[in-house]
Structure formats: C-alpha cells, structure tokens
Structure 1
Amino acid sequence: MTRASATLALVVTALLWSVGGVFIKSVEWNPLAIAGTRSGIAALFMLAVLGRPRIRPSWPLLGAALSTSLTLLLFVCATRLTTAANAVVLQYLAPLWVAILAPRFLGEPTRGRDWLCLALALAGMTLFFWGDISPDGKLGIILALASSLTFAGIPLFLRKLGDQGGQTEAVLLGNALLALGCLPFCFQGPWPDLKGVGALLTLGVVQTGLAYYLYTRAIRHVRALPAMIIPVIEPILNPVWVFLFLGEAPSATALAGMAVVLGAATVQGLLAVKDRGR
C-alpha cells in the first residue's frame, strides 16, 4: 500500500465510522449490549478476513487491543452521561495527545505544519458543535476526556508494532475483549427486532469491522498524527447522514466549522502523501 492509497483508506475509514450514529439510533437495546454485539460481529468479520490470525503477544499489541476496547466502551458511556457533542468534541482531543506523545514514543516529529492543521481541526470541531456543547454531565465529560487518551493510544501502539505486523490482530483482540465484557448486558431487556438486527450487522461488519481493517492497513504507511487528523472528518459527517435520511439541516455555524475541519483534514492528507519522514 502506498502513502496515497493509505491516505485514501483513512478517508474511507472516517466515512464508514461516521454512519454509526444513524444505525445506533435504529437499535432499541441496552447501549452496552449494542457496543458489545457490534464489536463481536466486527471481531468475527476480521477473523474471517485474516483466516488464521497470528497473534504474537507483545506490549504494543496488548496496548493497541486495550486502547481499542476502552475507546469503544468509554465513548458509549460518555454519550449516555453527557451530551453527544461533549463526547465527540472531547474524544477528538486525541490528535493533540498524539502530537505531544509521538515524538518521544515513536520518534515521529510533530512539525509546525502539523500543529497548524491540528489547531484548525480542533477549532473547526468546536465551531461545528458550538451550540450543543454543555457543562452538563460531569462524569460523562471525564469519561470523554479519558476516551481521547485511549483513542490516541490506538495509532500510537499500532505504529509501535511497526514492521513486525499484527495491527489488525490487535484491533480484532480489542473488539473480542469488549464483546466478552459486554456479554452480560445482552440479556437485559428485550432483544432488538429485525430492523435492529440489520443495523447491528451493518455496525459490526461495515462501520467497525471493515473500517478498522482499513485503518490497520493504512497505519503502517502514515505517521500516527495524520492517522488521527485525517479521520477527524468523521464526527462532522454524522449530521450529514442525519440530514440526508432525516432532513435535519445543520446550522450556518456548523457548516462553517465543517468547512474548516474538511480543509484541515485535506491539507494534512496532502502532506501525508508527500511525507518522507515516516
């Protein structure tokens, strides 16, 4: 995979991640049951794609697996305990942690142009969700902040695996761990109907399984920071799908924020293609 195709894979990953909101709303079930079932289906999908995965235990692999599990779990809990806007904006502080940690953890420099793209992305994200950000739900805010750290851990640990491989296996393991941890919640309350089952299959196979498979393929060919900044378009695409399917139009402020985020992600993507300092 070239850097150009890896950058494109990150864009497609963000597109796949972004449909989560629409499909999650289609499932009438315990949120932890949804998270666990989605991850279980995703793990089975990746297992089918890999055939016979070779999981070689190492601390970067375990770090990536735990980061994946905790990110998926913390975000669901944060969304339940504070506003969705709070959860999204705070989770996407992850690129900031990557920018700070990557030079020491991976030896990947954070350049001036990276800081500029990062500042634009965070500013655009804040502008996009400005009207929905709230101080309500302190515990949810704390969990969302925690999820930003675990989210940052995914590209950092996956990059740390380097040429020894195992990136997809690490994410498979993380999803499997979450599925096992959430299994008891699947037996609380009524099970979802056929529409919900279809949504869960889409969430598991497409929004999580295929998306993370592409992400783990791409991460070997781009630095950790671009692998965080380019997918930052994911949360601003959620309202686009809501508009297309439900007719809820975003505000002018949200559209301005969307333009800034898209611009920052585009610039970072172009720089990633030309980047020589892997």
Structure 2
Amino acid sequence: MKRLFRRLYSDYLMPSRLPEYEVLLRDAAEHGYAQVSVRDFLRPPPAQGRAPTIVHRHDIDSDLRTAARMFACEVRHGVRSSFYFRLSTLDFGLMRDIEDYGSEASYHFEEIATFAKRQHIKDADEVRRHLPAIREEFAANLRRIEEGLGVKLRTVASHGDFANRRLKLINNEILADDTLRARCGIACETYDSALLDKFDLYISDRPPPQLYHPMSPHAALGRYRSICLLTHPVQWETNWRDTTRCNLRRLAEGLTW
C-alpha cells in the first residue's frame, strides 16, 4: 500500500520541483562550477586544467512539457546540458532550440527492448542472435533523427525499459561494436566507462521520498570537482495527461509481450 501511495504521489500529487532545480543551477554557479553538456565535457580541457564541473544529462523518457521548462530554466542561468530523446519523445522544434542555444540534443535509444517486445522474444540469448538486425535498426533511427534535426549526433544514451530488466540485457549492448560506432560517428555512449571514469561523483534523480542517489547535488557542491547529474523531467513535475498515457502504454506492452 505504501508503494502504491508513493507512486500515486510522484505521478499525480507531487508539487513542482522546478524551483529547486533553479536554486541548484544558481548555487552551482556560485560555487564556481562550469555547467556543461556531455558533448562539451568530452572536448580536451584547457591547458590550465578544467574548472570544477557539473555535466547535466537529461533523459527525456516522457513529459516534453517539463523538459522544455527545464531547458528554459537553464537558458536563464546560462547553463549548457545534454537532452536525450526517445523515438516516442522526439520534438524537433525543441531539439533545434536546444542546439541553437549551444546545448546538446541527441538520441535516447532502446532498440533491443523494442525489438524484443515487437517479436515477443523473452530470452536474452535469442535477442542477441538478432543483434545485427537490431544494430541496423539503431543506425537507421539515428540517421533519421540527424536528418530531421540537421545536426550530426556525437553522443547517445541508452534507455532502460522494463523489458531490459526482465531480459537482464541492456540496450547499450548495441554499441559493443566498434565498427558500428565508427560508421555512425558516435564518440561516446553515456554509460561508457571512459566517460564515467572521468567523474568524481555520478548522481541520478529518484522519485520521492529519496529524490537523489547516492546523495543530493546540493550536498556535493564544493566536495567533488567533477559531477555528472542525471535527471528525468518526470521526477521534477507532474504531468497528469502524459503520465497516464505512459502508464497505459506500459500496461499494454506488458500484457502483449
């Protein structure tokens, strides 16, 4: 019962946390942190060394309305960040605004989970046998997004779906292929160890009451020089219509898979 109440609260009753996000951006700047995208973070640091840095990564699993509000908040504070969009959340207008501002808009991919659900495959080894076809589907989707956006995508982020958890097979296995990465021009996937090892602390937001794991970014300021903060719009503001649509879609997929 407690778990159900928490889910209802986070989906439909939680007050907006966007004022907290604005405070975080301001406080990070006051502590002397550069606030940048994944793409910018991967560029070579200046000769004098990198300033304390927060890399802002947003996974747009759902709720484009809140994603746009988070972006507007960042514009007010001069912050750059990375927004990763699923096929189901693509919004080329918003993505072009993000790129024109100097932040990064890219792809939150999930072809392994999509293929498994579409083909009603529940065995990880069977899915792996189809990886060549899945990789081609990924490449085609990436190309379509690049054409729609008019920008070459250099970094991408793997999405975690309920199907991945059941299969115990993550979507970024698609990119365990150097030839595919080279062909697609991908410099980094956000779970690459070469990227993660550059951070002193990796923080992800969580539903209430936890809010963050392993600690609050507010508490991390001044204690860690290099921080990656992963956020999801759905954790920051309720959107009844979009959340209900996503919950019904998740239910339908679970029943038909």
Normalised by the length of structure 2, the TM-score is 0.31
Q: Identify the structure with the greater strand proportion.
A: 2
| Structure richer in helix, relative to its length | 1
Which structure has the higher relative contact order (CA within 8 Å, separation 6+)? 1
Normalised TM-score (structure 1)? 0.29
